[in-house]
A = this chain, B = another copy of it.
Amino acid sequence: MSGMLELADVHPPIAALIEEQLQQVAFIFERQLASDLSAVNALCLHIENYRGKMLRPTLVLLSGLAGGGLPCDGSCLTEKHRTIAAVAEMIHMATLVHDDVLDEADIRRGGSTVNRLWGNETAVMLGDYLISNAFHLCSTVDDPSINLALGEVTNTLCEGELIQLYHRNDCGLDEETYLEIVRRKTASLIAECCRLGAAISGSDPRTCEAMKNYGSTLGVAFQIQDDLLDLIGEEDVVGKSLGRDMIKGKITLPIICHLKNVNQTQRGEALRLIAENGTDALRDHLHQSGAVERATEIAAGLIEDAKGQLTHLPAGEPRDLLMTLADAIITRSR
């Protein structure tokens, strides 16, 4: 958590409560993956190192608190919240493991990726094992509506990844299509985490809808920041392989902004650098053309929209923390 945001600076008792709940989420996560096969357990132990920000579980819990009314003493948070928080993290983890195969990435959270250590085959199957366990764990809460909702979200998530692959190396990709990809592949799950957290606490439909919109908008901003870091971040700070987007032909928002901002000569130069995976050389151009600034602005605008959704919520500590978390999404350097 500490890398992402300092909830403790805002409301220490609530931050401590979330921290304690996250430990229970981690316990549920580990218990679900325990197998009678030691070879399987060794793999699962490795990917537990991938659990860094715990953004999705945090959002389930904070949305659960926000939807639970006052006083905010944590009594509204149930085993159902914690289980769904673990499910969301497991789905996310599965996408990380498969993304690393797709990206041929070597580093994740400062350690070696599964594909790097055990090969692509094991990474593909381990990702499948995580998806399967996520759905199995989800079924244990005995609420078919949640199975249905999360199944729909993972369909959407995969569609996002598939359109992204379809547009690989497409330097004509426009902002609208980019945002559609990001809404599906990243924001859909984050939005559902926020909606489910509130819904499990018994929130009214309007609050659930506001939480979903908050998560969706924040999710897009989160991905824009990820894409910015892949281009202009520092690998030892971010803790994963960088410059992979360009190598894998993913055209992201800063590039789209750059190609829109520059003249014909500069555009030709940029296309040449993209074709040659010249991330280092392109970095200066992205700053000079204002593309980095523009992408940052777009993300900042989305964060303002996300915070605007929170005005539908009653004032209180959970709302303050959701505000703080939204700001941290785009100020993070990893």
Considering only CB atoms, which chain B residue lies closest to A161 in the complex? B125
A102 interface neighbour in B125, B129, B147, B159, Cβ under 8 Å: B125
Closest-CB distance, A99 to chain B (whole angstroms) = 9
**Which chain B residues border A125 with CB–CB below 8 Å?**
98, 102, 158, 161-162, 165
Distance between Cα atoms of A193 and B154 in the complex (Å): 24
Closest to A180 in B: B37
Q: Bits for A123-144, please: 1 = Cβ < 8 Å to B, else 0.
A: 0111111011101111110111
Provide the residues of chain B in CB contact with A43, threshold 8 Å.
Answer: 162
Given A128-B128, A144-B147, 10 further pairs, Cβ under 8 A: A35-B159, A37-B162, A39-B162, A94-B128, A101-B124, A102-B121, A125-B158, A127-B128, A131-B131, A131-B132
- In the complex, how many angstroms separate the beta carbon of A60 from the nearest chain B beta carbon? 19
Does B166 contact A39, Cβ atoms closer than 8 Å?
A: yes
Chain B CB within 8 A of A152 CB:
yes
A residues 57-108 in Cβ contact with B at 8 Å: 94, 98, 101-102
- Chain B nearest CB from A175 CB (Å) reads 18
Q: Please, what's the 1-or-0 string for A6-37, where 1 marks a CB less than 8 Å from any CB in chain B?
A: 00000000000000000000000000000101
Inter-subunit contact B128/A158 (CB<8 Å)? yes
> Do B124 and A102 touch across chains, with their CB atoms under 8 A apart?
yes
Given A37-B159, A128-B127, is A136 in contact with B121 using a C-beta cutoff of 8 Å?
Answer: no
Taken together as a complex, chains A and B put the C-alpha atoms of A48 and B159 apart, in Å, by 18
Chain B residues within an 8 Å CB radius of A151:
132-133, 135-139
A112 CB within 8 Å of chain B: no
Chain A positions 35 through 63: 1 when the CB is less than 8 Å from some CB of chain B, otherwise 0: 10101100100000000000000000000
Q: Which of B40, B131, B135 makes the CB contact (< 8 A) with A163?
A: B40
What's the nearest-Cβ distance from chain B to residue A224, in Å?
Answer: 21
Instruction: Report how many copies the assembly holds.
Output: 2
Contact yes or no, A136 B155, CB < 8 A: yes
Task: Identify which of residues 150-172 in chain A touch chain B, using a CB-to-CB cut-off of 8 Å.
Answer: 151-152, 154-155, 157-159, 161-163, 165-166
How many whole Å from A189's CB to the nearest CB in chain B? Answer: 11
* A289 contacts chain B at the CB level, 8 A cutoff: no
How far in angstroms is the closest Cβ of chain B from A256?
Answer: 19
| A147 contact from B94, B101, B126, B135, Cβ within 8 A | B135
Q: Does A120 contact B (CB under 8 A)?
A: yes
A35 to chain B, nearest CB (A): 6
Ordered nearest first, which 10 A-B pairs have the shortest CB separation?
Answer: A136-B151, A129-B158, A139-B147, A132-B154, A39-B166, A139-B148, A102-B121, A135-B135, A125-B161, A135-B151
A141 to chain B: closest CB distance in Å? 8
Q: With A132-B151, A148-B136 in contact, is A124–B126 under 8 Å at CB?
A: no
Q: How far is the CB of A241 from chain B (nearest CB, A)?
A: 16
Do the beta carbons of B129 and A140 come within 8 Å of each other? Answer: no
- In the complex, what distance in Å separates the CA atom of A147 from the CA atom of B101? 28
Which chain B residues border A143 with CB–CB below 8 Å?
Answer: 144
